[in-house]
Structure 1
Amino acid sequence: MTSTAPSSTAPRRAPSGTRRRHWWWHFEVPTLALAAALYGAWAALLWWHAALPGWALFLLGGFLAQLHSSLQHESIHAMRHLPKWLRHAVVWPPLTLWLPYPFYNRGHSAHHVNFHLTHPERDDESAYHSAPAWAGYGPVRRWIYMANQTIAFRVVLGPFLRLWKLACFEAGRVRGGDFSRLPTWGWHALSVAPVLYFVIGICGMGFGEYLLYFVYPGMMLGSLRTFTEHRWADTPHERVAIVESNVVFGLLYLFNNLHHVHHRAPTMPWYEIPVYFRRHRAEVLAANGHFYYRGYGEIVRRHLFRPVFTPVHPAW
């Protein structure tokens, strides 16, 4: 298989009517303002956490944790008129604790290489396994990976599977004599320390509570977004979904639910994506082979207990 270049119809600049002429758009002030609001809301929720019921903390904490992950994704692709150090610093605080930002940055950048998209070894975000690897799995491991193709498993237990895979990967590198990633983990630990100091030492929330009310539901919401974001197809454009959801999920994911638009124009700021999609809806859906869902409710109804696809890659 050969790599397929982006379509000539893909947007090369901001769509008409939203082109950034004023400094407000040039420096993507909406994104910076959103980041400031996010950190303020996160601090306020922690400060007054004792006054809220657990279900409210779970929903709000998870929303803020996933929104922070969405901002990290935005910093990888957009905010190009800001110095690199600044756009990374804006999202550096590890509110979700578990994944160092440099690893996410590097892996997600590789994910956007057309040839790598859905590759079981070259795409860190692929849910596929190569046929030889699948043949070598035992029945329990195959059952787990097949169950992970349902919403019920992916959202509830998928976060634990993801952490286990990360731990096994990192431990395997160390056992093999590769210590190149340890400095990044060291910097990550230093970054986590002030976050936990604020959570535990200043706001008085227990570590376990933070995991339960922020980290875990944030990972659950991230698992929902990525559940059926990609599938195998002969051309890269047809491997990327469109989920036309409401404004709440749109803001939560910074409109990355309109994922094919993002892959067509990765540097397009989040607030321009829905505008472009509305104006070019038919063209976008034709280009991605109508790989489309009308909201996350449809995805849940169709795949709560039914696998979205068999995770054995048909080409590798």
Structure 2
Amino acid sequence: MRRLPFLNGVRAFEAAARAGSFAGAAQELHVSPAAVSRMVRLLEQRLGLALFERSANRLALTVAGRTYQAGLTQIFDSLTLLTDQVTSVGTRRVLTVGVGPTFAIRWLIPRLADFRRRAPEIDVRITTGGVAAPFDPDWSCGITLGDGRWPDLVAEPLFAADLLPVCTPALARTLSAPADLDGASLLRVGHAPDDWPRWLRAAGQTRTTANGPQFEYYGQALQAALDGVGVAMGIRPYVDDDLAAGRLVAPFTATVSKGKGWYLVYRQARADEPAFTAFREWLRVGTDVHSGGAVT
């Protein structure tokens, strides 16, 4: 006879361990933090050991807790996959991709028709994610910028994130050397304050400061560059299509690595899902054929 642990407590513990707090688990499970705490406490009593070290402002896993959480997360991921497989019998395959808004608009969506032609049976769903948002367990995968290290996720490199100034052809004709950027309107992205200083240092322009309009996203800054507002710091692959079409030009040949790369990230439990494997294979071809940028 199978002896299962207190399942409500197991679920509450695993959610709290991932979230790092009872409040985060409560939001996921749609109960109160006090209810999560009670369920975890009852689980600990039935197991006869502590899973968390509790203090006034801190919730930390014990050694046993870390071991238990690692195994439980894998089990729950496998259960989610099995449930999806069972419920999707006779229905369309669903692919949910978490990406940042600029990546979606400037790379993924322009190529989505090609993927749909290759896999018309897959129900594609694009959702906000990427750099700023945490990975959602309901996603099939995500595409994000980083260093390749995300706990509990598999990360496969897609693109190098190279930086290069871009502007309209008319504005480029006034820029014969990086020194000409001094006094120009250099468009900034709020969440990437190091982009211009990194490129300017590499170009030997340490006295030049980016002081043009600031935007929340790369996409907004690039649209402003297209409209002639100034020079934007482009990042690949965002600018590749505009450069290929001549809408934007790179007035200087120098490119600088952002120090990060673009990665396909996913949970190991989803690695064999048919919709994901089709998308993953398409990406492998697409990053070589369509991007125009370097693949890491």
* TM-score interval, normalised by the smaller of the two chains: under 0.3
What TM-score do the two structures reach when normalised by structure 1?
Answer: 0.20
Q: Which has the higher helix share?
A: 1
* The structure with more strand, counted as a fraction of residues: 2
Larger Rg: 2
